[in-house]
Chain A
Amino acid sequence: MDVRLSPEQHALRDSVAQVVDRLGPKAVRQLDDPERAAKLDAAIAASGWRDLRAAEDGGQPLASGVEAAIVAEELGRGLVDAPFLGPTLSAELRRLAGAPLATGAETVLLARGLSSPVVAAALDGAVVLDGAVAIDAEGAGTALVLLAAGGGHMLAEVAVRPVDERTDLTRPTAVPSGTPAPLADQARVLTDHDVTSWTALGLALTCADLVGVMRGAVQLARDYAVDRRQYGAAIGSFQAVQHLLADAFVAMEGSRSVALHAAWAVDALPPDEALAAGALAKAYCARAARTVCETAVQVHGGIGNTWECLAHVFLRRALMSSDVLGGAGANLARVLDHHGIGSSR
């Protein structure tokens, strides 16, 4: 056992951090700067990070879940408003099905509530697509859905259109605007194991995003506590504020440890165990992230409750990442199920 990042992994983290720090939004008003957002999107497109889970010649992904998680964490920390999670999950589905890379911007469709992928029983998807949502859909023209076929699943794509949902101000959603059509070139039918493995990746990436969001939120609140003065002193000198921030930091550190393991498990463990690792990490990270972001709002006082403060942008992003493939409750149920304990009562 040696869970240190490799020098290459450290270098990847540094290069993502550079892009994020150069082009990511530093203030709420910068979220409305299309020129900055376009530069950021172009930098990420040029980096190849969205293709980390695309297939190399043997069908294996170009990079492991750990590399993908490193990217996700830094993007979360910097509130990056360019797609990564959606395209990465789409690329993973295409890899597992032996399908070529998407030609345009593509994401995935999740069922109502976002806790599971859309599984359509047939092409006439009118009912199953009701309430389905395409995540992280900035610029996406299509989203992938699973279609029950041959004892497993095939991939189908469906056109999507943007909606005016404002849960996450950095990653808009979209809804289906057509009916699903099977992808033309699929080498194989996805098994249940494939879907489990894909879910494990999704859980690992959302955990990594949440860890990044927590890091960013703690830093924002810490900096404010150093600057803001009341009673003639920085509020960060008051023990009540210090303890809030200390607890937030500790929650982030525990989250980091489970999220790292979930990212490693994606490729290193059998699908069922990778899913269990992802579920355990997600339960922990989702619970921690909400509290940490609430702390960031609280430390900012009245300002933290205004639109112009970034604290709520972190909180909103945390809520979205929590919901994708299930939050604390849904994943705690997965953990219990893995231990042979039903959680139905």
Chain B
Amino acid sequence: MNFGDSPDEAELRARLRAWLADNDPGLPASSTDDAYWRGQPAWHQALYDAGFFGMSWPKAIGGQELPSVFDVILDEELAAAGTPPRPSLGYLVQGILEHGNEDIQQRFLPGIVSGRERWCQGFSEPDAGSDLAALRTRADRDGDDYVLTGHKVWTSYSDDADWCLVLARTDHDVPKHKGISAFVVPMGQPGIEQRPLKMINGITKEFGEVIFDGARVPAANMIGAPGEGWPLAMTVVSHEREPGELGYVSRYKKVVKELATHVRANPEAYDAEQTRDLGWAIVEAEMLRLHVCRRLSDRLDGVSHGPEGSVDKLLMTQVEQAVGHAALGIGGTGHGDADDTALKVYLYSRAQSVMGGTSQIQRNLVARRILGLPA
């Protein structure tokens, strides 16, 4: 039982800290400024090239096969240095690792891990949100290819993606979960239209819609067999709920640290309620760090993800929204001021209880799969 660093961990921390001191990309927060997304590929590649990204993944795909607890150290040091968080795409890697054959893994994973190839995830549709299995995008066989027709939404980073992990219906005559297949689709081709989505805080680069109208994907780019898309989807979305996979601890800790600095510099400007909100944001962000320590330690036993991911997603959401409230209270709503960063942080936090599966869906999963309550 040790929350402290082992000698190996201390060595990594020191090396990381020294590297970060010289390599802050100086990007704005991803949640507040589109400029972040323009700089993110270079940041990803720099982190990877320095040996600090994808540390727990297999060596064959560019990882180092270190215990995933090293990622907690990464998140702590990124926050302390005030740099952006690590890119959040572990859920794609985990999905392809679990469900892709050797060929698929070798063709695609090294590019994701190194950041040389950009990826997006085509799951949700306008009529298939929480009820993902109701998706209607179709993939029809045509020679060695499949032809895609359909409409995807909430397709993060789709504007500059090279590849899209698409769920599409290949069999219309079986129950809805069983007729779905997964494909790795090249984005740069005719028959794909990408439209940005402008979110409530004004950012346009993170989310998008993708319309497939005759786009082609080689049959060899199918992950698993026809009709095996649903298990892959479940792997991906369950990892997408895990703060340890997403690395959001550093994002929250960074905002909290900045807010605390503001208040320390001018304590008289803030009333008891504003200060209390900051206090709760400090408590919540630290809770998540410690919770991730617990979860990643459990992985040392080979314990994989399960319904606990829904618990973690709900905790993470509370943290993000507590931090959002503190930002709103202390940063203010920006009256008469062109800098509305705090307002943007707050508004962005409202999406956390929706993205990656709504809080209502997570509560359903906790109730049924952990507490064993009847359907």
A residues contacting B by CB (< 8 A) are 1-6, 9, 64, 66, 218, 222, 225-226, 233-234, 236-237, 239, 241-243, 245-247, 249-250, 253-254, 256-258, 260-261, 264-265, 268, 280, 283-284, 332-333, 335-336, 339-343, 345
Give 23 A-B contacts (CB < 8 Å), ordered by A residue: A2-B1, A3-B1, A4-B1, A222-B372, A226-B373, A226-B374, A233-B374, A237-B373, A241-B373, A245-B371, A245-B373, A246-B362, A249-B311, A257-B287, A258-B286, A260-B1, A261-B290, A265-B3, A335-B279, A340-B264, A341-B263, A341-B279, A343-B276
With A247-B363, A335-B283, A343-B272 as known contacts, state yes or no: A4 contacts B298, CB within 8 Å.
yes
Cross-chain contact B375 with A237 (CB below 8 angstroms) = yes
B215-270 at interface with A (beta carbon < 8 Å) = 260, 263-264, 267-268, 270
Residues of B within 8 A of A64 (CB): 1
Q: Which residue of B lies closest to A264 (CB)?
A: B3
Residues of A within 8 A of B260 (CB): 339-341
Residues of A within 8 A of B105 (CB): none
B1-55 at interface with A (beta carbon < 8 Å) = 1-6, 9
Cross-chain contact A4 with B374 (CB below 8 angstroms) = no
B residues contacting A by CB (< 8 A) are 1-6, 9, 69, 72-73, 260, 263-264, 267-268, 270-272, 275-276, 278-280, 282-284, 286-287, 290-291, 293-294, 297-298, 300-301, 308, 311, 314-315, 318, 360, 362-364, 366-368, 370-375
The A-B contact count (CB < 8 A) is 161
Cross-chain contact A257 with B291 (CB below 8 angstroms) = yes
Task: Report which of A268, A335, A345 forms a contact with B282, defined as CB distance below 8 A.
Answer: A335
Bound Cα distance A297, B264 (Å):
41
Q: How far is the CB of A66 from chain B (nearest CB, A)?
A: 5
With A239-B364, A243-B363 as known contacts, state yes or no: A66 contacts B290, CB within 8 Å.
no
Cross-chain contact B373 with A236 (CB below 8 angstroms) = yes
Residues of B within 8 A of A261 (CB): 3, 290, 293
Residues of B within 8 A of A250 (CB): 311, 314-315, 366
Residues of A within 8 A of B263 (CB): 341
Cross-chain contact B279 with A1 (CB below 8 angstroms) = no
Residues of A within 8 A of B297 (CB): 1-4
Residues of A within 8 A of B73 (CB): 1
Cross-chain contact B293 with A1 (CB below 8 angstroms) = yes
Cross-chain contact A339 with B282 (CB below 8 angstroms) = yes
Bound Cα distance A284, B372 (Å):
26
Bound Cα distance A339, B280 (Å):
12
With A3-B2, A236-B373, A260-B290 as known contacts, state yes or no: A246 contacts B366, CB within 8 Å.
yes
With A226-B373, A258-B290 as known contacts, state yes or no: A253 contacts B311, CB within 8 Å.
yes
Q: How far is the CB of B121 from chain A (nearest CB, A)?
A: 26
Cross-chain contact A253 with B291 (CB below 8 angstroms) = yes
With A237-B373, A250-B311, A341-B263 as known contacts, state yes or no: A3 contacts B278, CB within 8 Å.
no
Task: Report which of B2, B272, B308 forms a contact with A264, defined as CB distance below 8 A.
Answer: B2
Cross-chain contact B272 with A345 (CB below 8 angstroms) = yes
Q: How far is the CB of A261 from chain B (nearest CB, A)?
A: 5
Bound Cα distance A336, B268 (Å):
15
Residues of A within 8 A of B2 (CB): 1-3, 264, 268
